[in-house]
């Protein structure tokens, strides 16, 4: 029968072995990152739509993060009018990231396209673009209709306080409107060495809490 000291020593040895294996894997594997949801305006009007064919359409936003890795827009589910659902269909949307509006000297930083149908989220992703946190950025939307009368989701009443919609020829500001949109950012995975340090520190605390010592 193992003594308590031997059992504790064996347990510690196994933990250290697992820690060393984890470090070896971390060193051998290239650094990874996580794509996280950043900004989001998820509400949608039940009485109004923006057609997918709308020209000069953009949404401004700000991020506290140092990069933007993608963006998305929600297709409107349709309006219930006189007993039927209207403004439904399918299409594709090109979503571009800009540092200012195209007609205000802006530079396109990234772009991507996605296709879908009414009520779908259309998300696009790109190589993360470095940005200055908490400054105005712009998503520009260009839609193409495939079938029916698809529309963008949006809402009034300024539901997203860090930006607004720009629409109609010349990207005119629409102060109380916001697209139903979201953005994505890239963040590093938790540092494996930091996690191992926390784990070993926790083990030390547990040993003290259980009165484990080399005198047993």
CATH of the domain at 87: 2.60.120
Same domain, 134 and 202: no
Q: What is the 3-state secondary structure (H, E, C) of 55-99?
A: CCEEEEECCCCCEEEEEEEEECCCEEECCEEECCEEEEEEEEEEC
Asked whether residue 149 is assigned to any structural domain, the reply reads: yes
Residue 49: name the closest of 15, 24, 29, 78 by CA: 78
Weakest mean pLDDT among 26-30, 94-98, 150-154? 26-30
Q: How many domains does the chain have?
A: 2
Domain that includes residue 124, residue range: 33-188
Mean pLDDT of 126-134: 98
Maximal C-alpha separation, the chain:
84
Give the model's pLDDT for residue 192: 46
Same domain, 25 and 71: no
* 60, 106 contact by CB (below 8 A): no
Same domain, 198 and 106: no
- Over the Cα atoms of the chain, what is R_g? 26
Asked whether residue 216 is assigned to any structural domain, the reply reads: no
Same domain, 25 and 114: no
Given a cut of 60, whether residue 10 has pLDDT beyond it is no
Asked whether residue 178 is assigned to any structural domain, the reply reads: yes
Asked whether residue 215 is assigned to any structural domain, the reply reads: no
User: Would you say the C-alpha torsion 13, 199, 65, 34 has a positive or negative sign?
Assistant: positive
Same domain, 15 and 64: no
Same domain, 22 and 82: no
On average, the pLDDT of the chain sits at: 83
Query: 166 vs 86, which has greater pLDDT?
Result: 166
Mean pLDDT of 120-148: 98
Per residue in 70-113, pLDDT (tens digit) is 999 999 999 988 888 889 999 999 999 999 999 999 999 999 99
Given a cut of 90, whether residue 12 has pLDDT beyond it is no
Alpha-carbon distance values, 10 to 31, 203, 205, 212 (Å): 32, 13, 17, 13
């Amino acid at each position: 029968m193992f003594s308590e000291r031997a059992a504790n020593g064996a347990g510690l040895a196994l933990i250290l072995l697992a820690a060393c294996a984890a470090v070896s894997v971390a060193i051998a594997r290239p650094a990874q990152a996580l794509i996280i949801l950043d900004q989001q305006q998820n509400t949608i009007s039940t009485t109004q739509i923006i057609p997918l064919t709308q020209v000069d359409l953009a949404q401004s936003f700000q991020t506290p993060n140092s990069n933007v890795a993608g963006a998305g827009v929600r297709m409107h589910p349709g309006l219930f009018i006189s007993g039927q659902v209207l403004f439904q269909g399918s299409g594709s949307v090109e979503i571009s990231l800009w540092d200012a509006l195209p007609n205000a000297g802006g530079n396109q930083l990234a772009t991507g396209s996605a296709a879908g149908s009414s009520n779908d989220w259309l998300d696009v992703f790109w190589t993360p673009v470095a940005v200055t946190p908490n400054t105005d950025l712009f998503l520009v939307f260009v839609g193409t209709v495939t079938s029916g009368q698809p529309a963008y989701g949006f809402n009034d009443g300024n539901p997203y306080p860090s930006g607004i919609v720009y629409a109609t020829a010349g990207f005119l500001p629409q102060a109380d409107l916001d697209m139903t949109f979201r953005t994505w950012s890239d963040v590093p995975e938790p540092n494996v060495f930091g996690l191992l340090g926390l784990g070993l520190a926790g083990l030390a605390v547990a040993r003290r809490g259980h009165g484990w010592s080399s005198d047993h």
